[in-house]
Amino acid sequence: MKKITIPISDEAIRELKVGDSVLLSGVMLTGRDAVHKWMNDTFITKKRQPVGDDLEVFEAIKPILDGGIIYHCGPVVSGVETGDYKFVAAGPTTSIREEPYQALVMEHFNIKGVIGKGGMGAKTLKGCQDTPAVYFHAIGGAASLIAQCVQKVLAVHKLDFGVPEAIWVIDVKDFLVVVTMDSHGGSQHAVVEEKSQKVLDGLIKNS
């Protein structure tokens, strides 16, 4: 078991390999579909001009993401009406939904880790090699347990996206994850997919 504090250096990322169990501590952001599309369209491809608080939010999250982590998570949060935020559930979201954007977002913000479930595709794996970065697999079905790792909600941005889609800035301690895509081109998800395809092909052939 490795313990890593965020922000993470390139050297620490390159030391990680597929299969490594890691306890993460430090400040990270949550971000799902709306956030990735907003990042991409506003600041990377610049398909749209910044409006409202876009630039203010960009300046707030940029230093956190530099060497940091984005967590594919749509949390259940109490205290939204009062501002006394507390994570009740914080399970991972299926990551493949962010495949069109993830490599670009990692490169643009120098993100060192992505947390989610289910793995990602070839484009993100190439991004992990180039940035460098890793994909951390969180435990699905353990939303309440993961929420206990959240020591404090430090801020929230883009709450107009909705609670699950907003950018939550959280301080976590000993967040258990497993490296399933590394910066050396290793992907446990690709291995599983290849083995599954071989089994399927065999079943079809013998049917």
Q: Which of 105, 112, 118, 117 is nearest to 182 (CA)?
A: 112
> Which amino acid is residue 172, in one-letter code?
V
Q: Which of 36, 72, 157, 189 is catalytic?
A: 36
- Verify whether residue 189 is a known catalytic residue: no
> CA 48, CA 195: separation in Å to the nearest integer?
42
Rounded to whole angstroms, what are the CA distances from 43 to 35, 102, 103, 151? Answer: 12, 14, 14, 30
Residue 203: left (phi > 0), alpha (psi -120 to 50), or beta? alpha
For 76, the 3-state DSSP assignment is strand
Q: What angle do CA 133, 113, 149 make, to 5 degrees?
A: 155
Question: What distances in angstroms separate CA 125 from CA 6, 10, 89, 202, one per listed residue?
Answer: 21, 16, 28, 28
Active site (catalytic) residues:
36
